[in-house]
């Protein structure tokens, strides 16, 4: 039997702007739910109510507070990006600041 009130949050990582470096760790309500590499996604079943969704690429972290309605299907895009100077550091040293973002999808 399927619970009609159950909601779902999906975090995907497939933006062409993503530098495809580092894993992104996904947290829900402070609990580590898994990690995604470029091209992957994670689906999280949730109860309706207020939740905190966070992503962390070991360089920085972003979080959103969500009010999830019964039966909602919420989708988000996580990506790791760099600034212009960061590309130089990545190319020269193989490491540098990579920023993470978390944006809702329509």
| Cα–Cα distance, 37 to 18 (Å, whole number) | 10
Which helix (DSSP H) or strand (DSSP E) does residue 88 occupy? helix 84-93
Note whether 11 and 42 are within 8 A (CB): yes
* pTM, entire model: 0.84
1 domain-assigned: no
11 domain-assigned: yes
55 domain-assigned: yes
What domain range is 15 assigned to?
A: 7-105
Note whether 97 and 82 are within 8 A (CB): yes
Task: Give residue 90's pLDDT.
Answer: 53
Task: Give residue 49's pLDDT.
Answer: 96
The ranges of the chain with pLDDT < 50 are: 1-2
Task: Give residue 92's pLDDT.
Answer: 52
Residue 34: give its domain's CATH number.
Answer: 2.60.40
Q: Is 50 exposed, middle or buried (0-12, 13-18, 19+ CB in 10 A)?
A: exposed
Burial letters 1-27, b for 16+ CB under 10 A, else e: eeeeeebebebbbebeebbebbbbbbb
């Amino acid at each position: 039997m399927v619970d009609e009130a159950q909601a779902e949050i999906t975090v995907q990582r497939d933006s062409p702007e993503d530098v495809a470096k580092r894993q992104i760790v996904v947290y829900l309500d402070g609990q580590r739910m898994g990690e995604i590499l470029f091209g992957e996604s994670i689906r999280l079943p949730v109860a309706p109510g207020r939740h905190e969704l966070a992503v962390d690429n070991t360089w920085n972290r972003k979080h959103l507070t969500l009010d999830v309605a019964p039966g909602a299907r919420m989708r988000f895009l996580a990506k790791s990006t760099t600034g212009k100077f960061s590309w130089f550091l990545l190319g020269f040293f193989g490491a540098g600041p990579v920023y993470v973002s978390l944006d809702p999808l329509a």
